Chains A and B, each alone.
Chain A
Amino acid sequence: MNKETLELIGGIIAIIGSLFLLLGSIGLLRMPDSYNRIQAGTKASTLGTMLSVLGAWFFAPAMVGKFVILILFVLITNPVSSHAIARAAYHIKVPLSPRTIVDKLKDKYSADSDRMAYKKKVKSETE
């Protein structure tokens, strides 16, 4: 295949990737609470970045090693970071959305009194 065809294919793949990134950001805006936002953000940004990098590979085929490393690092670090954010959010008692139907983790941590204490602390800090 000649260079133009390859660049066309690469461009299309990169556009599909950026579409997923766009959907991810719409998800960030529309979801009701932090946890659901993390859901939308993580998945869409992983595949979006992977496809964008794959598209870039068609433009510079000689750089294959660096692109593979990029994809691997995104694949490894993305879920870890979103897990860390979610866990931290749960520990400082960021409230779940009212649409939440079950929370099995609640019993494992301390009860509602702490949640109230945290809210008061935030309130006094912002005032």
Chain B
Amino acid sequence: MKNHFIMFLTLLGVWIMLNNSLETSIVVSGVVLALLIPFLFCNHCEVFSQLKLNPKSLLYTFLFITTFLWELIKANLDVARRVLTPSLPINPGIVEVKTQLKSKIGRIILADSITLTPGTFTVEIIEDSLFIHWIDVKSSDLEESTKIIVKTFEKYLEEMYG
């Protein structure tokens, strides 16, 4: 039920933003469609059912987005610096990190955030291990690299999705 409700809100939000207007006809048709679609097609999609809805998780969502945007800007300056330095200072490698997140959506968002932050991106996920391509390997040790790469986001995502 919660799954359907969040799906409804998402669909309605996308519909209104795509139409870019709040006219009655558009809102009414959007509500009808957004009610119909989750009930007809969404019997097996449990993506949102692990989402927690309480004030604390909303606060952490906000903190997560701020951290994420800041890391994204840092990532770009980092890439810019490496690309423009004549000697091309890279030190690449694929390292393994562990995540404590259990939910699917939590892991997806973690992997995506890692991809967009300085010098790292996710190549493969096998169970609770993420394999990260790191442009400047600081440590190939599992614990150490987990601490550097994953912890920034995991503490927020743990509150949001568990």
Instruction: Give the interface of A toward B (CB within 8 A).
Output: 20, 23-24, 26-27, 30-33, 35-36, 38-40, 42-44, 46-47, 62-66, 68-69, 75-76, 78-80, 82-83, 86-87, 90, 96-97, 99-106, 108
Contact = CB atoms under 8 A, between A and B. Distances in A.
Interface of B: 14, 16-20, 72-73, 75-76, 79-80, 82-84, 88, 90-96, 111-113, 115-116, 118-119, 121-124, 126, 131, 133, 135, 137, 140
Among A31, A64, A104, chain B packs the most CB atoms within 10 A around the CB of: A104
Contact of A86 (B14, B73, B82, B121): B121
A35 B17 CA distance: 35
Among A27, A65, A69, chain B packs the most CB atoms within 10 A around the CB of: A65
B135 A39 contact: yes
Contact of A100 (B17, B93, B124): B93
Contact of B94 (A63, A76, A104): A104
Contact of B83 (A30, A78, A80): A30
B135 A36 contact: yes
Contact of B79 (A23, A78, A99): A23
B92 A78 contact: no
A16 B108 CA distance: 30
A66 B18 contact: yes
A1 B11 CA distance: 35
B119 A39 contact: yes
Contacts of B91: 99, 101
Contact of B14 (A39, A69, A78, A82): A69
Given A43-B75, A108-B126, A69 B18 contact: yes
Contacts of A62: 20
A20 B76 contact: yes
Nearest to A107: B96
B79 A39 contact: yes
Contacts of A68: 17
A105 B123 contact: yes
30 contacts: A27-B82, A27-B83, A30-B83, A31-B83, A33-B92, A35-B123, A38-B121, A39-B79, A39-B135, A42-B115, A43-B116, A43-B118, A44-B79, A46-B116, A64-B20, A68-B17, A76-B112, A78-B115, A79-B113, A79-B121, A79-B122, A82-B121, A96-B92, A99-B91, A100-B94, A102-B93, A103-B94, A104-B95, A104-B131, A108-B124
Given A63-B20, A96-B94, 12 more contacts: A20-B76, A23-B76, A35-B94, A39-B79, A39-B119, A43-B72, A43-B76, A66-B18, A79-B113, A82-B115, A101-B140, A105-B94
B20 A46 contact: no
